[in-house]
Homo-oligomer: A and B are copies of this chain.
Amino acid sequence: MPQRTEIRLAGAGGQGLILAGVILAEAAGLHEGKFVAQTQSYGPEARGGASKAEVVISDAAIDYPKAIKPDVLLCLSQQACETYLFDLQPEGVLIVDSSLVRHLPTSRALGLPFTQIARKEVGREMMANIVALGALAVLTGVVSPDSLEKALLARAPKGTEELNQKALAAGVQAARTLLRQKHPRAGAPADTGEGG
């Protein structure tokens, strides 16, 4: 069976989720040799400023390019959490912007304050989408941060490359710190290990 991974990025219009979907798709498709389909839908269901982008990554050609039951769900708004959580695979990964999603719908959620990190580390709240992408790569392993950076630099408007790199690195860093807190041994440097 080919390995098929479905990722849904959900939030409000203007949060840059479509661009995030395109970058994630190009990272996996152009830089990691995977088959990738990237979609977004509009129409009556998109009213109220909701926005959603989906990426399907596979080892084999993709028949149906939309997410059926996502393995990864990124939510940048409370409403997105409430709308899409029911769809997530039972063992799926839920990642939320904890600056915006106040009521975590499950204790399994991985929360990081992407918007706050973007403001503090990059000086631009609107780069929360890129911070989130960096964190998603680390928390899910669907793509490497290096491939993501290549895809990001190819899409970044001229003059914004450095800010984008900073945003991505901040997301990667925040996710690694979160993983260390959850699994204290996993990321600990050797010299702080047992017997230290």
Residues of A within 8 A of B (CB): 18, 22, 25-26, 28-30, 33-44, 46, 61-62, 64-66, 157
Known contacts A18-B22, A22-B18, A66-B65; decide if A42 and B46 are in contact (CB<8 Å): no
B28, B29, B34, B40: the one contacting A25 at CB < 8 Å is B40
Distance, CA A38 to CA B66, complexed state (A): 10
One complex includes copies of this chain to the number of: 2
The binding surface of chain A is classed by DSSP as mixed
A38 to chain B, nearest CB (A): 5
A30 to chain B, nearest CB (A): 6
Residue of B nearest to A38 (CB): B40
Known contacts A39-B39, A65-B39, A66-B65; decide if A33 and B28 are in contact (CB<8 Å): no
